[in-house]
Structure 1
């Protein structure tokens, strides 16, 4: 008996932001796209529990894309995405956070357009806003911060981002993604600007059961991070808004007492 040929749907690609880590923080639209997917290509920063939204019949392929351990180059991911769309139908490209916040989402949309494949983007909660928020740290607050910057800690060349030199001078909240391994360098920038007492928070695996949290000031944060055993992936939050966190009050009291003694 000849097996019936599998019907291939119209090729299309959906870029979906999975959010900061908690599988319940993906949008309903993102979850529905996963349910409809024939193939899911997912990154290292995606909680694998999010894949439970996809059909059990869907092909699920891990494509890495974490700093220091790329399973596939970006070029290879682009080609896989297109090849699977042409051969299977609907491909969901699942990315941590939001696809357009240091997610190289536009590159993937543009690559798909080169093959005349329809591509849709479903935004996700970026860790730059949602993770501090879950810790009750607002990125803006009246009287403390009128704006916020989101900066990458490390460029493609491995150097510290030039934008951080400007960010260290601003009164805005500065959220640094992919910057934990440059924490000492970033601290030096703030110290050189005379901002050694600025509140800082570092959050690893934000929104997940493995979350770790460190809080301090520019002068102490490296030591606190080491004591807490915090590693990547983590976000850094520099700004007066960090002082609103309940755990910062003892730090404030300590420095006030030291100042009185002097």
Structure 2
């Protein structure tokens, strides 16, 4: 029986997601992007989902499913692997005539999630009779043609249906996903992501891109690796090498650009030491893109002819910090600070102590290029208190200099 395709307008409508694992991690960003009122029911959630909870984007009920959870739901996603538990949820939703997606058994579902590609205002959804592999292959073929701006009569021929199998076995691709908007991923990055056997992500990678992965792709969430940053990086390196040596095509999907405070160089060296070839796909760095999205040019004729990008994750004076804050204070150009929100009071204080004027314009842009983007404008003397009062959260880019006000007026 062929399905009846529909485009659901979910803005403001309750969508229930049961399960807090990999499947939910992949599905929730698209639901949030559609404006749905997402309620997540699960005793545990992934770090990526927890980030959405902490940001107030969804409601998390930290327990197992109860029939009352389906109250007022327009759509239910069952993202659990236990078929008995999944069927019990389906029984509840069927009695209430709520369309339900089943991650464990598509034949037991009353709704399917299609393979989706988004190109600006165009969304292409492919069902392929419930066959996810064929749907993804067709989706990728259409997506490539849309990206090129050309759709030919033969685009869906049998040869292109194998496009998803073009991955380079035994290779690692370090792909920068950009500052947050999934449309800012490069064409090459999107093509390699579509061909991946394994995708290793962190919490800064654009979440909507996960909804486009083939269903059989192994998703490794690097943000859930315990034991601190150094041990976590060693484990990431191990996973990249291990999967590549097993003949997999591995994509390391990183926020921004792989080499701008992304530790991409360490990952490349680890792969090189193991004899694993690496492809590097540059990404749009948030140091430039986020200020731009907020209406701030990092350089502007007659205002600033230079800009400096620094990491603020270590406070000024920290023994391991390599940033010369005194030298930065003497510059006339723009200073962009990444990962500096936590240490913003110390950064503002040290720049003023070395001569930067207290009335220097400063902007803090939270989650730039995404639907949750917020911009705070202040001065070097007031920005720390203003950011605290506004309850700004990471990721955020701090822009210091006259360019903050260059296009205001």
Query: Could you report, residue by residue, the CA deviation over 1:192-241 in whole angstroms, capped at 9, with x for unpaired residues?
Result: 21410100000111111122211011111122212221011111100110
Structure 2 distance, partners of 1:59, 1:34, is 12
Which moved further from structure 2: 55-64 or 159-168? Answer: 159-168
Match of 1:148 among 307, 310, 334: 307
- Superposed counterparts of 1:11-26, under 5 Å: 11-26=170-185
The 3-state SS of whatever aligns with 1:209 is coil
Name the structure 2 match of 1:257: none
Q: SS of the residue aligned with 1:61?
A: strand
The 1:71–1:170 alpha-carbon spacing in structure 2 relative to 1, beyond 3 Å, is closer
Distance between the aligned counterparts of 2:356 and 2:203, measured in 1? Answer: 37
Bigger CA drift: 148-157 or 109-118?
A: 148-157
Alignment partner of 1:104 out of 235, 260, 263: 263
Match of 2:340 in 1: 179
Q: Which runs of 5+ in 2 are unaligned?
A: 1-166
- 1:83 maps to what in 2? 242
1:244 aligns with 2:406: yes
CA positional deviation for 1:128: 0.1
1:135 to 286, 294, 316: 294
Q: Which residue of 2 aligns with 1:167?
A: 328
Quote the residue 1:230 is aligned against. Answer: 392
Q: Does 1:198 align with 2:360?
A: yes
Could you tell me how far apart the structure 1 residues matched to 2:204 and 2:287 are? 14
Distance in 2 of aligned mates of 1:33 and 1:163? 38
Q: Secondary structure at 1:138's aligned position in 2? A: coil
TM-score (normalizing by structure 2): 0.55
Higher relative contact order (CA 8 A, sep 6+): 1
TM-score, scaled to structure 1: 0.85
Mean Cα deviation higher: 210-219 or 31-40: 210-219
Which 4+ runs in 1 deviate beyond 4 A? 68-72, 156-161
Cα-Cα RMSD: 2.3
Name the counterpart of 1:214: 376
- 1:256 is matched with none
Cα 1:18/1:69, change in 2 over 3 Å = farther
Residue 71 (structure 1) shift: 10
- Structure 2 CA distance for aligned equivalents of residues 37 and 14 of structure 1: 9
Segments of structure 1 that go 5 or more residues without pairing to the other structure are: 1-7, 250-262
How far apart are residue 164 of structure 1 and its match? Answer: 2.5
Tell me the SS of whatever aligns to 1:216.
Answer: strand
Larger Rg: 2
Confirm or deny that 1:93 pairs with 2:255. no
1:145 and 1:56 mapped to 2: Cα distance? 48
Secondary structure in structure 2 of the residue aligned to 1:131: helix
- Separation in 2 of the partners of 1:175 and 1:17? 19
Q: CA deviation at 1:54?
A: 2.5
1:60 aligns with 219
Q: Number of residue pairs matched?
A: 239
